Structure 1
C-alpha cells in the first residue's frame, strides 16, 4: 500500500530539486579538491615527490580527511535525502524549504571558513582534530556552522515526514522516507557529542577563554560521534540498495519489515560504541571498553540482514528471468548499467571492509593494527569504496532527474569506466595499506621522510609506491566523475530521467507497527547511550589531571 502511494509522486518538486542540487554541487567540488589532496599525500608517501611552495604534508592530509570524510558525505547525503523526501511524501512547504536553504548556506559558510584556515596552515589538526593539537578558532566555528546547518537541513525532512504521517493515519509510511528519518535521527544524536566538544571545550580553548582541556574527554566525545558517523555514511548507501537497486534490476523489495528492522538496529547500536576506537588509551576502565566492544558486534546483525535481503532480491529476480542453479542469477544482473554496477561493486567491497571492522573492534587484534596504515586501508574500503561508489551510482540518475536531463548511453559507459577505475585504484591502494600495516606496522599518519631507519623505509617503499599508483588511478576517476557531473547537470540532452523506486513484493509480510514507533526505539537508544557513557565520562572528569577537569575549565 505504502509503495503504491509513494509512486503516485513520480518526480521531485523543481523547487526541492534546486535545494538538492545545491548540496550536490558543493559535494562534488569537495570531492575534486579533497581528491587532489589525497593524490598529493600518496605521492609524498612514495618518497618520489615533494610538496611545492612550502605546503606541509599534514595540511593536505587535513584537507583530504575533512573535505571527503565530512563535507562530501554530509552535503551529498543531505541533497539525496531532500530529493528522497520530496519524491516519496511530497514537496516541502515554502517555510520548510526556507529552513533547508538556511541550513545549506550555514553549512557552506562553515565549510569555506574551515577550509581557509587549513589552507593558511592555521588548522593542521587532521580529520580527527585531536587535542592537544590546536586550530584557529575560525576552524572550530566553521565546523560548528556545518553541524548546525546540517541540523537545519534535517528539520524540513522531519517536518514533511510528520506531516505525511498526520495526513495518512494508520498507513505505513514510504520505506525510503522512513529510512531518511532514521538516518537524520542518528546524525542529530551523534553530532551532539562533537558539538559539545567543540562549543564547550575546543572553541573556548582556542579563543584563550580557558587555559587547557581534558584531552581524553575531548577524544571520547569525538568518538561518540566518530563511529556513528560511519553509519551516517553507510545508511544512505543502504537506502539505495534496499529501495533503488531492486527497481533498476527489475525486481521488487524483498521485505519492507526486514529493511525497517535493520535500520532501527543501526540507529540504536551505532552510537554507544565509540570507545572501541580508544582501546589502547589509558584512563578508560577495561570493563567499559569490553562492554562497548560487545555492543559494537551487535551492529553485525543488521549488516547481515542487509546482505541477506540484497542477495535474496538478486536471486529472486534471476529466478523470474529463468536462471537456474546456485549462482545462475549472477548472469541475469544488468552489468552494463552504471546505476547498478557501481553500487554492486560497493556491496562486494563491504565484505572485506566489514571483516576488517571486526578486526579493528577486537581488543587483541586491535593491538596489532592500531594506528597503523591498516586502519587507513579499512576506511578506504568502507567509506571510500562502498559508500562513494554507491553515491556515484545514485548521482548518475539523481542529477539528471533533478536537472531535467537524461543519462545517455555514452555517459552511462563513462560511468562504468569510473566504476572500474575506482575499484582498480582502490584495490591496489587499499591492499598495499592493509599489507604494510599488518606486516610491518607502517604508521597511519606519517609521511615518508619521517620513517624510522633506512632498512624500515626500504621495506615499506614498494608498498608506498603501490599506494601512489592506486591513488593516481583514483584521481583519474575523480576527474572523469567531475566531467560526468558537469555533463549531467548542464549539457546532457534534456528529457525525463526517472527516480527509480521499487515497489514491495506482493508476497512480503505486513510491516509490524512497532517498527515505526520512534518513541519506543528512541527510549532504547537513550537508555543504551546513558548506560554506555555515563560511568566512563564521570570517571574521566573525576580523574582528570589538576587544572584540566573536563568542563570545570568553563567556570
Structure 2
C-alpha cells in the first residue's frame, strides 16, 4: 500500500462512537474473566464461592458477559470504525443511529446483568426452557439485540452511500465484510427474537402458562450456530485485510475473500439442528440434512486458511525466502499486531477439527453435553476469535485515541498472547480430555463429587484451574495494555492497516455484490431446512412446561 493512504484517520467523532463500544467490551472482559476463573477454581474442588454466590450464577455471568456482551460491543465498534475508514466518514444521521444503538445495548446489558447478579436469571446463557429467568433478563437481552441491529444499520447505510457514489465498482473489502456480518446477524437474531417475544417473555410475565420447549430450543439454535460466525467473521476481516498490511505483504485474492464470506452467509444459518442431534421430536432426516449443510461450512474455512498462508508465503518469497517453509522465518515475530492473531489462527486448526466432531451424527454421541464441547468453544471463540480481537485492539485503540503502541506495550502484548496460549492449552486441553471420559459440562464439582467415575476427572479439573489462573493473569495484562492505549500511551499517529490486493489477483466480479441473489439463496436454504420441521414441532408439541423459576 502506498504511503499516502497509510495514515488515513478515522474521523474523531466516529472514533468516539467506536471507543464507547470498546469501553463496555473491556469492562465485560474484566467481569467475565473473573467469573471464569472462579468457575475453574470451584470445579477443581479446592474452592467454595463466598457470600452464598451460586456456581450457576457465575456460569451465567461468564457466558452472557463474554459470549454476548463483550463480542457484540467489540464487533459493533470495530465494524463502525472499519466502514468509517474504508467507505468514508459517517454522516450525522448515521452517527445518531450508532449512538442510539449503543445506549440501547448498554441499558439492556445493565438490565440483564442486574437480574443475573440478583440470582434471578441463572439460566446458563442459552435461554433454555424449562429454566425460566426474570422478565427483565429477557427484556434486557432483547434491547441488546435491537441496539446491535442499529449498529448494523449504520454499516448498511455506509455501504449504500458508497455504492451510490461509486456505481459499477466493488465496494471496499472491509466494508463488504462488515455488511455480510451485519446481514448474517439480522437473519440469525430473528430466531431468538421470535423465541423471546412469543414464548419466553410472555411466559416469564405470566401472560401464558406454558411454552413449547422444543420450539424455543430450535429457535435458539437457529440463532446459536450463526452466532459463532458473527463472532468469527470480524476475526476473518482482520486476517484477510489487516494482517497482510501488518506483515508488509498483499492480499492474496479479493474475490476469494468475498466468496468465502458469501458462503459463510449461506451455510452458517440453516444448520442449528446439529446442536440438537440427541433431542427427540425432530425427524432424523432433517437432522441429517443440516449435518450435511454444517460440513459445507468447512469449505470457506479452508479457503480462508489457503488464502492466509498463500499471503504469508508470497510475502516471504518476496523477501528472498527459499525452501518449503523458508517464508515462515520472514514473518514479523516481534510485532504483536501479527503474533497475537497468528496464535489465534493456529488455535483455530484443532478448534475446527473439534467442530467437525461435534457436528458429526455419530461422534457427537460421545461428546454431547460433556465438557469437551466447552473446551471446543474455548479454542474457537475464546482463543482464535478473542486473541484476534486483542490483536485488533493493539492498533485500533491507539488509532482512535491518537496514541501509539510503544515498544514496551508491544512486548507486553506478545507476553499477553503467549500467556493466553499457555493457559488455554492447560484449560481447553483438560476439558477435551475430561470430556472424553464423560465429565459433564455446566456442572459444579460438588454435583458429582461422590461419583466413583468422577475420581478420574479430578486431575483434569485441577489442570483447568491452573489454566484458568494463567488466563486471568493474561486478562489483567490485556486490561493494563488497553487502559494505557486508551489514556496514557504517548500521543502520536497509529496506522489503521488496510492491505492492498496483489497485482496478479483476478478482477473481482460484481456478481458477488448481487444481494438479491445471495439473500434469496439464503432465504431459500433456511426455508428448505426449517419449514417442515417447525410445522411438525408446532403441530405435534407435547404438553407445555411450566418451568423452573429462578426468582
The bucket for the TM-score relative to the shorter chain is: over 0.9
Counterparts of 1:93-172 in structure 2 under 5 Å? Answer: 93-172=91-170
| Structure with the larger RCO, 1 or 2 (CA within 8 Å, 6+ apart) | 2
- The CA deviation at 1:519 is 1.1
Is the 1:20–1:80 contact (alpha carbons within 8 Å) kept by the matching residues of 2? yes
- The CA deviation at 1:172 is 1.1
d(CA) in 1 for partners of 2:300, 2:231:
15
Structure 1 counterpart SS, 2:27: helix
Is the 2:7–2:496 contact (alpha carbons within 8 Å) kept by the matching residues of 1? no
Structure 2 counterpart SS, 1:500: coil
Partner of 1:553: none
Among 485, 490, 498, which residue is 1:488 paired with?
A: 485
Among 205, 208, 218, which residue is 2:206 paired with?
A: 208
Is the 1:9–1:87 contact (alpha carbons within 8 Å) kept by the matching residues of 2? no
Among 450, 467, 473, which residue is 1:470 paired with?
A: 467
Is the 1:124–1:135 contact (alpha carbons within 8 Å) kept by the matching residues of 2? yes
Partner of 2:516: 519
Is the 2:278–2:365 contact (alpha carbons within 8 Å) kept by the matching residues of 1? yes
Question: Structure 1 residues 359 and 495 mapped into 2: Cα distance closer, same or farther (>3 Å)?
Answer: same
d(CA) in 2 for partners of 1:514, 1:430:
41
d(CA) in 2 for partners of 1:8, 1:482:
28
- The CA deviation at 1:171 is 1.0
- The CA deviation at 1:456 is 2.0
d(CA) in 1 for partners of 2:3, 2:322:
34
Asked whether 1:240 is paired with 2:215, we answer no
Structure 2 counterpart SS, 1:521: helix
Counterparts of 1:297-446 in structure 2 under 5 Å? Answer: 297-438=295-436, 440-446=437-443
d(CA) in 1 for partners of 2:258, 2:155:
18
What is the number of residues matched between the two proteins?
Answer: 546
- The CA deviation at 1:4 is 8.4
Structure 2 counterpart SS, 1:139: helix
- The CA deviation at 1:546 is 4.2
d(CA) in 2 for partners of 1:41, 1:346:
23
Structure 2 residue ranges without an equivalent (≥5): 547-551
- The CA deviation at 1:498 is 0.5
d(CA) in 1 for partners of 2:273, 2:4:
40
Among 6, 12, 15, which residue is 1:17 paired with?
A: 15
Please give the per-residue CA displacement for 1:113-144, whole angstroms capped at 9, x wherever unaligned: 00000000000001202000000000000000
RMSD of aligned alpha carbons: 1.4
Among 171, 174, 182, which residue is 2:172 paired with?
A: 174
Taking structure 1 as the reference length, the TM-score comes to 0.97
Is the 1:276–1:293 contact (alpha carbons within 8 Å) kept by the matching residues of 2? yes
Larger mean Cα displacement after TM superposition, 539-548 or 328-337? 539-548
Is the 2:7–2:494 contact (alpha carbons within 8 Å) kept by the matching residues of 1? no
Partner of 2:549: none
d(CA) in 2 for partners of 1:219, 1:85:
35
d(CA) in 2 for partners of 1:10, 1:265:
31
d(CA) in 1 for partners of 2:545, 2:494:
57
- The CA deviation at 1:5 is 13
Taking structure 2 as the reference length, the TM-score comes to 0.98
Asked whether 1:194 is paired with 2:217, we answer no
Is the 2:213–2:544 contact (alpha carbons within 8 Å) kept by the matching residues of 1? no
